[in-house]
Amino acid sequence: MKKNSNYTFIDLFSGAGGLLRGFLDAEFNPIFSLEMWEPAIQTHNKNYSSVPLIAEDIRKVNNACLSKYTGKVDVIVGGPPCQGFSTIGKRIVKDPRNELVFEFIRFIDIIKPKFFLMENVRGLLSSNGGKTKEAIKAEFELIGYHNVKYKVLCAADFGVPQIRYRVFFIGVRNDIESDIDFPQQTTEKQNYATVGSAINDLVGLENLIPNHVPMNHNAIVKERMKYIPEGGGIPLEGLPEDVSRGSRSDYKNNRVKNFSHIYKRLDRKKPATTMVPGHNAFPLHPIENRSLTVREAARIQTFPDDVIFMGNRQNQCIQVGNAVPIKLAFELAMNFKKYLNELEE
């Protein structure tokens, strides 16, 4: 592919910079990122100080500030939180819970990039019996975009050692003739990247590299973890009585259950389950009796080790868990680059 480092992008709802890093690695030039959460702002400043950052609530950025970029940006990317959708006909109801989606659309409307990319959880597709996704598509068409498409992509299909599904929306400005589509998968199922390939070399380096700090599990929790087999959860026959009940004072009379991520151990020979953001939600290490460290989860999200996550542990977990995996972001960026090259030619 012909290299062009002059293509530009804007990165909204930047978080830990998953999309940002993927597009940077694809040699796009950043116009700015936008993020309002302080820990993520600190992470951006630590890792991407040369990328301009609007550290502001997107709702407070007025149209006059955006108009200077009109027609000068190739791609706008971002993953606005989508909550509580309701629709009337083909339109999204302007519920305050949907406001950030409208803000993303407003930026597209004012700046008029050639292409856009919006990421979200795949549950969005079934929201309101499927009406939500069609309403979002209609909103983009209303502001002057065609070939608006949505598709669920699995990160493992793009070299990420994680079975992670997210929906992506793309579209093309009306004055541009392009039949843009989503990238083809780069990795067949039999060749999926594994947990072991991502994190095995970190064993023994705990506390020696940034963000590789194990949780301080209490004695009962550590003992309980010994009964969780690699690639499995709490045994069907249950746990020994002395470790079967919660150790917290508010949980001591309840038996520990197979929650979706807690007490699930990863398998070194398979991709991970989805890295879910939260303090205790990362799954167990394949061979160590502890949950994954932030660095290990970041490796599974294909963040390079040069990215340092700021804030307390919970803040770091949320940033890592919410991010678009870097390898997937890179493939999406290279896909846009292919179409931008075609336009130039």
Q: Is 144 helix (H, G, I), strand (E, B) or coil?
A: coil
In a domain, 13, yes or no: yes
41 lies in some domain: yes
Find the range with the poorest average confidence among 98-102, 184-188, 283-287: 98-102
Place of tokens 């070194």: 268
Size of the chain, expressed as the number of residues it contains: 345
Q: Taken in order 307, 312, 315, 321, is the CA torsion positive or negative?
A: positive
pTM over the 0.85 mark: yes
Neighbours of 132 (CB within 10 A): 22
Alpha-carbon gap, residue 290 to 285, rounded angstroms: 6
Q: Residue 22: give its domain's CATH number.
A: 3.40.50.150
Least confident residue range of 39-43, 70-74, 293-297, 341-345: 341-345
268-270-271 Cα angle (round to 5): 110
Query: Which of 179, 115, 178, 183 shows the shortest CA–CA distance to 151?
Result: 183
Q: Cα 285 to the chain's mean position, in Å?
A: 21
The total of structural domains in the chain comes to 1
Domain that holds residue 332: 8-185+324-344
Mean pLDDT of all residues belonging to the chain: 90
Secondary structure letter of residue 16 according to DSSP: T
Would you say residue 260 lies in a domain?
A: no
Residue 329 lies in a domain: yes
Strand partners, 33: 11, 53
Q: Does 131 have pLDDT greater than 90?
A: no
Residues 223, 229, 231, 235, Cα dihedral to 10°: -100
CA dist 242 → 1, 162, 245, 261 (Å): 61, 34, 7, 22
Check residue 190 and give left, alpha or beta (phi > 0: left; psi -120 to 50: alpha): alpha
Structure-block tokens of residue 19? 């999309």
Answer yes or no: is 212 within a domain.
no
Q: Is the pLDDT of residue 98 over 80?
A: no
pLDDT in tens, 284-343: 999 999 999 999 999 999 999 999 999 999 999 999 999 999 999 999 999 999 999 999
Collapsed DSSP state (helix, strand, coil) of residue 155: helix
Q: Judge whether 74 lies within some domain.
A: yes
Residue 82: active-site member: yes
The predicted model gives 149-174 an average pLDDT of: 97
In a domain, 332, yes or no: yes
Of the candidates 65, 82, 154, 317, the residue annotated as catalytic is 82
User: 266 Cβ partners below 8 Å, 6+ apart?
Assistant: 195, 230, 231, 272, 273, 283, 284, 285, 286, 292
Q: Which two tokens stand for residue 184?
A: 């083809």
* CB-based contacts of 28, cutoff 8 Å, min separation 6: 5, 7, 8, 9, 74, 75, 333, 337
The reported pLDDT for the residue numbered 90 is 65
Query: Does residue 267 sit within a domain?
Result: no
